[in-house]
Structure 1
Amino acid sequence: MIRTIGIYIYAGLVVIGTLLHLPKAKKLSKQKSSAEINEKLFEQPKMVSRKVMERTGSTVYVKGQEKLPDGAVLFVANHQGLFDILALIGYLGKPVGFIAKKEIEKLPIISSWMEMIHCVFIDRKDRRQSVRAINRGIDYLKQGHSIVIFPEGTRSRGSNLNDFKPGSFRLAIKANVPIVPVAIDGTYQMLEEDEGRVKASTVSLRIEDPIYPEDYQNKKSGEIAAQAQDIIQKSLQGKTSEQTA
């Protein structure tokens, strides 16, 4: 537990260290959006995420970055644990925002950076606010900002998948952007597996083939959700068979 507390303290100090970069980043965020500006705004969140992951002693392997399309995409990932977000920010290979819980908006410094990388805060208990948040996410995608969703809705805390909820797939449908499935494995072993104690793990991010608008335009959101879940499930099973072969 002492090690876990130490990692949390380290993470807090690294986040505090980004305060020096906030004023410049806020000015930059007010300029006309471009790929270059998005990359610059993403530098500090990416740096923090990598440092914290490294501090845990974990190793992150990424496969399939060559499949990433240019422009905005909706990333669809399974949600094993809390460290999924750091793994994606640090190693995915593309600036991304998230559909995040409303509570995170209360966190100082972190919430400021999340706003600048175009995260959307959602209160699932407030239907009207949820609709506004989804519409904001659609606007961000149309403006060229990629977003990650976790359609399971909550952490699985293991290697099994919960059913994908179709509602969030409206983001891609309305914005007319590619959907990129990402299979995450190993993050639950960093925290959730051992009663909240942080430990090292081998984490993999497997980027699968994009599902382009022309491939899903005649499908309902439930069908798209089922397709994405099937892709990620097979990807996770493929990784398991590779390890045990």
Structure 2
Amino acid sequence: MPLFKRNPFGHILFLKKMIIRIFGLISHGRYRKFNNLQIEGSDILRSLPDRNVLFISNHQTYFADVAAMFHVFNAALSGRDDSIKNVGYIWNPKLNIYFVAAGETMKSGLLPKIFAYAGSVSIDRTWRSAGKNVNRQVKNSDISNIGKAIKDGWVITFPQGTTTPFKPIRRGTAHIIKTYKPIVVPIVIDGFRRSFDKKGLNIKKRNVLQSMVIKEPLDIDYENDEVADIVTKIEYAIEQHPSFLKVLSVKELEKLTKEEEELNNKRKFWNS
């Protein structure tokens, strides 16, 4: 690889590789030592093409979710089955992995700016800004940048646009799917909200059972499925449809931080 080769966003790939290596080494213990990340679906990742893939996931922290996915993706591509044991996989990471993030989040300090260089496709949220509700038009450049990233590689997005569970799916994700026709792979995560602070930078609690399930790609008719149909498919795929509240009540969701041990016991199937 030429030393100063750049990706479509002008980022120097050698520099991006070094950032992923350094922060991969630093963050690895968060999922292997302080907490235990259980993974399902590594074989699905290895069956995907090198580009034109969109990952959709529920969201629990600003940064820890994405960092875990970088670990899981690269470990799987290095031949590890549902494991991130032995961080050597991070030495030669996949460099065309991107994640969609709010521009204001990625500009909120030096560390987020460094993270952004590792693969952020920054967008201006149309519904929220500086902690307040807003209502503004979608920037065409944001949509085209997401499309550029999809054409170049794998893109991670959180279609609810918030770390609050069971919030509505943003229709913009469905429009992007219909426009760029990527392979859409759902991911369901859990445990990150209990083990990290909201930003996902500080460890809040140790020995939490974290989980990441990679599911089979969605069956989407890009030409005939309506936006509303795709939104519903996403809701079910990432387990954020209101019907899932029958399993976990709203009252329980509001008390998640006080019920960590009970929730961990409910997930003992991971150890079976």
TM-score (norm. length: structure 1):
0.69
Q: 2:37 matched to 1:92?
A: no
Q: Could you tell me which residue of structure 1 aligns to residue 229 of structure 2?
A: 223
Which of 157, 160, 163 pairs up with 1:149? 157
Q: What's 1:136 paired with? A: 145
Q: Is the 8 A contact 1:74 1:146 kept in 2?
A: yes
Counterpart contact for 2:19–2:118, Cα < 8 Å: no
SS at match of 2:38: strand
How many percent identity over aligned positions? 19
Q: Structure 1 unaligned segments of length 5 or more: list them.
A: 1-23
| Equivalent residue runs for 1:29-44 within 5 Å | 29=6, 41-42=16-17, 44=19
Q: Alpha-carbon deviations, 1:173-225, whole Å to 9, x = none?
A: 211211110001110111359xx862222221111011255x44321222112
Distance 2:42 2:57 in 1: 15
- Pick closer, same or farther for the CA change 1:43–1:223 going to 2, 3 Å: farther
Give 3-state SS (helix, strand or coil) of 2:194's partner.
helix
Tell me if the contact between 2:8 and 2:148 (Cα under 8 Å) persists in the aligned partners. no
Aligned residue runs from structure 1 range 159-170, under 5 A: 160-170=165-175
Mapped to 1, the partners of 2:15 and 2:52 lie a distance apart of 16
In structure 2, relative to structure 1, the CA distance for the partners of 1:81 and 1:26 (3 Å cut) is: farther
Q: Give the structure-2-normalised TM-score.
A: 0.63
Does 2:269 match 1:242? yes
Instruction: Supply the distance in 1 between the matched residues of 2:72 and 2:53 (Cα, whole angstroms).
Output: 16
**Is the counterpart of residue 183 in structure 1 residue 188 in structure 2?**
yes
1:206 aligns with 2:228: no
The 1:199/1:148 distance shift into structure 2, 3 A limit, reads: same
In structure 1, the partner of 2:116 is 114
For the aligned residue pairs, the C-alpha RMSD in angstroms reads 3.8
Q: Distance in 2 between matches of 1:131 and 1:220?
A: 21
Residue matched to 1:45: 20
Secondary structure of 1:48 counterpart: helix
Deviation at 1:240, TM superposition (A): 4.6
Structure 1's 74 and 230: CA in aligned 2 closer, same or farther, altered over 3 A?
same
Aligned length: 211
Query: Could you tell me how far apart the structure 1 residues matched to 2:57 and 2:25 are?
Result: 19
How far apart in 2 are the matches of 1:222 and 1:198?
37
Matched, 1:27 2:4: yes
- Shift in alpha-carbon separation, 1:121–1:167, aligned structure 2, 3 A: closer
In terms of mean alpha carbon deviation, does 112-121 or 74-83 score higher?
A: 112-121
